[in-house]
Amino acid sequence: MADSTKVKKLDGRHERTEQTRLRILAAARDLMLSGNLEPTTTDIAKHAGITTRTLFRHFAEAESLHQQMIQAAEHSAEAIMDEPFPESIATPEQWRLQLTHIIDRRSRIYEHLLPIYISPLFQRQRSTHTHNRPASVPATQRRQRLNKVLPAALRQDRPLFEAIDATLGIEFWVSLRHSQNLSAKQARRTVEIAIDKLTGYSA
């Protein structure tokens, strides 16, 4: 009985620890998405409703917090992009409609992630962890999904496939919105035009 009680206490403590950790990550993400592109640990702790000391018990250094926050935001976005197509456009013959659905979904997700991707924190993480960036796995998943959608003629033309994949990637969206100063509506239209041109290919 005593052992069972001890296990329950340990489980409860672990659950509270994990909930606090997730709250810290969510606070960091929320601050960046609301426009604070480089929140301090004090900002994050205050937003999470905890002390800075508590924050550092969960994340020994700010860099670890920033890295995990970026990973969590990207994985959350990937979970949405992994959702199956609506039944009305689920057959292989409807690949063009599926591409339109992909553009719509990714445009919304990328726009949501834009503050994170243009932040100094993300730029530092990218330069420091280029060899094992969190985005490397999602990018692989993105390519796999595209392979399932495109017809053989487009999949087998390697340069064409790479052009389509790059056009549908977040880096292109960030370039359109941040570097070229297009509105979200203009950026989406640019992606649509590019994909229409690229998929007009005939073997």
Within this chain, do residues 134 and 48 fall inside the same structural domain, yes or no? no
Q: What is the pLDDT of residues 6-45, one digit of tens each?
A: 555 556 677 888 899 999 988 988 888 788 888 999 999 9
Q: How many domains does the chain have?
A: 2
How far lies 29's CA from each of 8, 84, 116, 198, in Å? 31, 26, 8, 35
CB atoms within 10 A of CB 98: 21
Q: What is the DSSP letter of 61?
A: S
One domain, residues 33 and 122? no
- What integer is the mean pLDDT of 188-200? 95
Domain shared by 30 and 100, yes or no: no
Calpha distance 43→34 (Å, rounded): 13
Percentage of the chain lying above the pLDDT 90 cut: 45
- With residue 202 as reference, give the H or E element that holds it: none
Structure tokens at 105: 């979904």
CATH of the domain at 9: 1.10.10.60
Say whether both 47 and 122 belong to one domain: no
The percentage of the chain sitting over the pLDDT mark of 70, rounded to a whole number, equals: 86
Range of the domain at 131: 63-203
What is the number of other CB atoms lying within 10 angstroms of the CB of residue 99?
22
Do both 26 and 82 map to the same domain? no
Which whole number is the average pLDDT over 169-184?
A: 91
Report CA dihedral (94, 99, 101, 107) to the nearest 10 degrees. Answer: 180
CA neighbours closer than 13 Å in the CB half-sphere of residue 118:
19
Q: What is the pLDDT of residues 120-174, one digit of tens each?
A: 888 777 776 554 444 444 677 788 889 999 999 999 999 999 999 999 998 899 9
Last residue of a domain, one of 60, 76, 94: 60
Closest CA to 63 of 36, 34, 28: 28
Task: Say if residue 99's pLDDT is above 80.
Answer: yes
Are 23 and 117 in a shared domain? no
Single out the residue in 60, 88, 111 at which a domain terminates: 60
Q: Is the overall model pTM greater than 0.85, yes or no?
A: no
Q: Is the domain of 115 the same as that of 85?
A: yes
Domain boundary among 60, 90, 109: 60
